[in-house]
A and B are shown apart, each in its own frame.
Chain A
Amino acid sequence: MKNAIAIAKKELNIYFATPIAYVMFTLFVVIGSYFFLRLLGSYEQASLMYMRFNSPEMMNRLNFQDAIFRNLFGNLGVILIFIIPFLTMRLVAEEKRQKTMELLYTTPITPGEIVWGKYLAAILILVCTLALTLLYPVLVQLVAKDQTGVEWRSIFLGYAGLFLLGAAYMALGLFISALTESQVVAALITFVVLLMTWIIGWTAQETEGSMREVVTYLSSVSHLDSFSRGTLDLKDLVYFLSICALGLFATHRAIEAHRWS
């Protein structure tokens, strides 16, 4: 465990010594803010419209969670597909290219500790990325003082969902990074794989029966929806956790295999 923390510290040191983490943070916040502002705009329009038609029933139904955050979390989940490949590409590939893997192999640490350390660093970067967007609910809360404000419980469940989605993506990215010596190849393949897990959900509308269920289950972003609605579905939790476990296990294997080759 101590060794894993040492590895994680080193990874974080490199993340922040190079521009990559800052660039991805900026990208995430800029694109995220764009979606947030648009959703806020449409919320405003809707509330104005309901007021004009004087329909208190509709006004009651309008709430921040459904009108803004549920969609926002879905959007943020999709943006993660675009930034996570760049956050995981370096993790193992660069160690192989620079031959620093040899250093790790000749010091008394196990491949398991290498994997955990690297994953821990990736998770902390993910937490930083998501924490930056906490500004949105805080802003809404500040502006909506006189109303009931945001439902923090649902917001945090939404973040938990985003975190799990990101953690699953990170695990896949880490594994793909362990397969190659080239950061570019790692980023590209990770991006394609993550994109596939999103796109596959689109076909759900065109398929029927059990096929539809399978496709929906495979689609990563669809599992986010229960969280962003403010509910906790065990099925979705299992989905994310099993992808994390699979990714980490495969990374462990890949690192062991690299040593034997």
Chain B
Amino acid sequence: MIEVEHLVKSYRELKAVDDVSFQVQSGEILGFLGPNGAGKTTTMRILTGVLPPTSGKAKVCGFDVFENPIEVKKRIGYLPENPPVYTDMTARAYLRFVASIKGVPRKARESEIERVATKTSCTQFLHRVIGNLSKGQRQRVGLAQALLGDPEVLILDEPTVGLDPAQIIEVRELIKSLAGKHTIVLSTHILPEVTAICQKALIIAQGRVVAYDTLEGLQRAHAGAVTADGSPGPMPSLEEIFLKLTSL
């Protein structure tokens, strides 16, 4: 579904993304991990066609992000770090606008808005002006926007930031329920989130991939030495692996 090969993005001397390659199969959830400034957001912005890469290739649903951006964008739902909402519009007017530029047919628009609003539990505040909503509510409107048009691929940049604990669980359940039908790339630095919802994890630090495996594979690879009686060493938590790999 998503294929990234030797992706490089440099800003003058600074290499924000340095030779990143990975693949996400259809229906999978990939956890995208890394400390702040590691290049997570930059990679996601390249995948969604916001930024052109310096070199390397990225393909989504078989379309090259750079050569065929419109086809890629038709198949992607993207939630950036800050939900891209117009604070002067009501949530419903905003979702109507996004639905129309995403090409949702006019007749299906209202039912589509109801669908995503129910999924993200936005229905109670659809009539309110977004500027008056709380951070968590805005985040949910942002998430609803990404789901509009039922895109095959979802790219979510820290989707649970600003939510309260109950909502975090809700959103995690939502993302889990979307897997299978959608291919999801999810960036976060909340590690339990990855353990809770992702099958695979990609850890990057300073623009480079330092680990890319299934969660079990990661744990096995970083397990402690075999003890004297022959039993395998203690399994490390994802947190330990993350700290070990990123504290270069």
Residues of A within 8 A of B (CB): 2-3, 6-7, 9-10, 13-14, 17-18, 98-110, 259-260
Contact = CB atoms under 8 A, between A and B. Distances in A.
Instruction: Please provide the 6 A-B residue pairs with the shortest distance between their CB atoms, ordered closest to farther.
Output: A103-B84, A6-B100, A108-B73, A106-B78, A100-B84, A106-B48
Nearest to B48: A106
B62 interface: no
Chain B's interface size range is 20 to 34
B101 interface: yes
B213 to A, nearest CB: 29
A106 B97 CA distance: 14
Chain B CB within 10 Å, residue with most, of A7, A105, A109: A105
Given A102-B50, A107-B102, A10 B70 contact: no
B139 to A, nearest CB: 14
A18 B86 CA distance: 12
Interface of B: 45, 48-52, 70-71, 73-74, 76, 78, 80, 82, 84-89, 93, 97-98, 100-103, 129, 145
Nearest to A100: B84
Nearest to A14: B88
B82 A99 contact: yes
A259 B101 contact: no
B140 to A, nearest CB: 16
Contacts of A6: 97, 100-101
Chain B CB within 10 Å, residue with most, of A18, A103, A107, A108: A107
Given A99-B80, A259-B51, A107 B98 contact: yes
A2 B105 CA distance: 11
A105 B88 contact: no
Contacts of A108: 70-71, 73-74, 101-103
B48 A18 contact: no
Given A106-B78, A108-B73, A100 B97 contact: no
